[in-house]
Structure 1
């Protein structure tokens, strides 16, 4: 044994709103379903995901910059109301069904 402590690297992702890197567990995964941005707090839904700080400022930046269609490689606009409800409700709330 070498005596070294094995440290597991924490995966990092980039927020589509503020473009800052953060640990994956600090960001909210978002997917596109039927023309809408849907929060995926458990990171278990299939499909291409984008990551966002659970903060209304980052959400506003992402919407203004049209970051979601670009991240999902889609054209047109996406409805962000369900995502906005999740972000304003806070990280401890259950996802809207």
Structure 2
């Protein structure tokens, strides 16, 4: 058998991964919920979704429908267009191309 050759390590750190749309949306929703002093359970109940589902949306693990986004945003006192604008603004701060789908 041949000699094992170690895999070369990059000399520089890889660029930070750009957030996905669902991650940026989740982060924005969580920050808004904290800013207005609401609990996860309170917002989930008002939006008509489970606490677990809202938690997964906030962590960027679920890709919510526009209806769910509208309900959650509304429970936080936001219009869907306000949420979308905030997320788009946040993503434009990221260097490189913007990934809008998973």
Same-fold call, TM > 0.5? Answer: no
Which has the bigger relative contact order, CA under 8 A and spacing at least 6? 2
Rg comparison, structure with higher value: 2
- The structure in which a higher percent of residues are strand is 1
- The structure in which a higher percent of residues are helix is 2
